[in-house]
Amino acid sequence: MAADLYSANVRDGRAYLSLILTPLQWIVDVPSRLAGEVSDVVVDRSLLLKENAKLKSEALLLERKVQQNSALWHENDRLRSLLVSSKRVDESVQLVELIGVNPDPFQHQVIINKGSENEVVLGQPILDAGGVMGQVTEMSHYTSRVMLITDARHALPVEINRNGFRTIALGKGQLDELELDHVPDTADIKANDLVITSGLGGRFPRGYPVAIVSEVIRDPGQQFARVRIKPTALLDKSRHLLLVTMPAEVEEIALPLKGEVLPSKEIQ
Amino acid sequence: MNSGSPAQTGGGGFIILGTFIVGLMLSQIPLPYFIEWARPEWVAMILIYWVMALPHRVGMGMAFCLGLLLDVIKGSVLGLNALSLTIIAFLTLLLHQRLRMFPIVQQALMVMVFVGINQLLFHWMQAFTGYTGDSLVFLLPCLVSAVLWPWLFVVLRGVRRVFRIK
């Protein structure tokens, strides 16, 4: 039992044990997969047309944003080269699918359908369409386990998009809420501020949306302001997720040392 | 029906294993977040049944192996479920003759106690490794398991009789 906590070799054994269970995980996932397929088959034409039109207009909107974005990107690169600072590198992403959820309600973990055979790396960030979901904490050969940002043991370095105020978002074990850690009473944070990853700690790339500030409680009797934030990712609904591969130079910092489970910063 | 004589035992090992595999699957089927707190402890219940019915075939070794698999499913430290399942298998072994005589309601109450012990041990040990909860909701599965026990008992007894597992 203690060996599992302190030894890296046990992790391999664990990976093989989960390999035994991988077929079970696939079978358990079949009903929800089938349900999705059946609803694809029986959906009526008008609904499909409507959805198609909606997606087209959405794509148009997004394309417009991308056009602007690429111009800004190049401008940014030029400015950076003028400043002789290092170039920004784009991260590559891999599509993964969620195939299971940890049955223990105390732990917010999901299981995805890619593992060490698909070159998943420990600590890799996972996103969905809305924002950051979590990071890979355990791998088997064909599946891996992702700790969600709302898990009570998870901490994520973030910043406020509006003014760059840096802080840390702590999970509380509730699926719809996180909390910002040690925010001074005088900090410039308002409700509806967007919270993005700050890229500090080297594990998550910078600039992905994490949450929206839902409430700032400033109590003069308390040392720090309490800031409650609501994750933008649909943590309990998303099925199709993105696995982000960090650029090589960043990855070197992000890879855990041998024998170390996670950097002590991420464990509370 | 002298189920204890070694000459007549054997057969149906795969069926027993199959029921456990079904139990392992049921214990990882995704549920809505709030129902998840009330998920019955399928593996523990199935284990209690087989230990009670066939104590000479299913015992603590089986409980330990199942517990390891359950640990991997729940993502807990290896050995937590193994230990708690081994302990309830031991308790069931101690009491199996009495359990067989009990009416079904009293059996369900005993199942509630066993599953409760399982949950308590599991969460107590989880707390050592950093997972904490501040309420007693984690005991909810033992109530649900007790309510489901009569049905599970009838189904597993049916399985045992149909396949003549002794």
pLDDT at site A264? 45
pLDDT tens-digit readout, B120-164: 998 888 888 766 667 788 889 999 999 999 999 999 999 999 988
Query: What is the token pair recorded at A249?
Result: 């130079």
What residues of chain B, 127 to 156, have a C-beta less than 8 Å from chain A? Answer: 129-133, 138
> CA B27: distance to chain centroid?
11
Could you give the CA distance from residue B4 to residue A189 in angstroms, rounded to a whole number? 72
DSSP chain A: -HHHHH-SHHHHHHHHHHHHHHHHHHHHHHHHHHHHHHHHHH--HHHHHHHHHHHHHHHHHHHHHHHHHHHHHHHHHHHHHHTTPPPP-PPEEEEEEEEEE-S-TTS-EEEES--GGGT--TT-EEE-SSSEEEEEEEE-SS-EEEEETTSTT-EEEEEETTT--EEEEEE-S-TT-EEEEEEETT----TT-EEEE--TTSSS-TT-EEEEEEEEE--TTSSEEEEEEEESS-TTT--EEEEEEPPHHHHHHHSPPTT-SS-GGG--
Task: Quick: pLDDT tens for A158-180.
Answer: 999 999 999 999 998 888 999 99
- Predicted confidence at residue B10, as pLDDT, reads 63
Contact residues on chain A for B130, CB-CB shorter than 8 A:
153, 267
- Which sequence spans correspond to the domains of chain A? 91-255
pLDDT 10s digits, B16-50: 999 999 999 999 888 887 788 889 999 999 999 99
Q: Tell me the C-alpha distance between B15 and B13, whole Å.
A: 5
**Nearest-5° Cα angle at B150, B148 to B156:** 100
SS3 B21: helix
Residue B152: half-sphere exposure toward Cβ, Cα within 13 Å = 26
How many domains does the structure of chain B reveal?
Answer: 1
Q: What values do phi and psi take at B6, rounded to 5?
A: -65, -25
The CATH number of the domain where B39 resides is what? 1.10.1760
Instruction: Determine, for residues A105 and B25 on separate chains, whether the beta-carbon distance falls below 8 Å.
Output: no
Within 8 A of A20 by CB-CB distance, chain B residues are 69
Is B95 inside a domain boundary? yes
Interface of B with A in 7-66 (CB under 8 A): 21, 24-25, 27-31, 33, 36-37, 39
Rg (alpha carbons) of chain A, rounded to whole number: 20
A166-171 vs A125-127, strand pairing mode = unpaired
Angle at Cα A161 formed by Cα A155 and Cα A165, nearest 5°?
A: 65
Pairing of strands A178-184, A125-127: unpaired
Q: Note whether residue B2 is domain-resident.
A: no
Percent of chain B with pLDDT over 90: 61
Task: For residues A44 and A48, give the distance between their C-alpha atoms in angstroms, rounded to a whole number.
Answer: 7
CATH architecture of A91-255: Beta Barrel (2.40)
Q: Do A4 and B77 lie within an 8 Å CB cutoff?
A: yes
Q: Which residues of chain A have pLDDT under 50?
A: 250-254, 260, 262-268
DSSP E strand stretches across chain B: none
- The answer to whether residue B78 neighbours chain A at the CB level (below 8 Å) is yes
pLDDT reported for residue B1 = 40
Taking only the tens place, the pLDDT of each residue in B66-107 is 999 999 888 888 888 999 999 999 999 999 999 999 999 999
| Domain that includes residue B24, residue range | 8-162
Q: Quick one: closest CA in B to A236, which residue?
A: B33
Helices (H) and strands (E) in chain B, counts: 7, 0
ipTM of the complex as predicted: 0.79
Rounded Cα distance between A205 and A248, Å, is: 12
Instruction: Specify the residue for token string 């959405």.
Output: A58
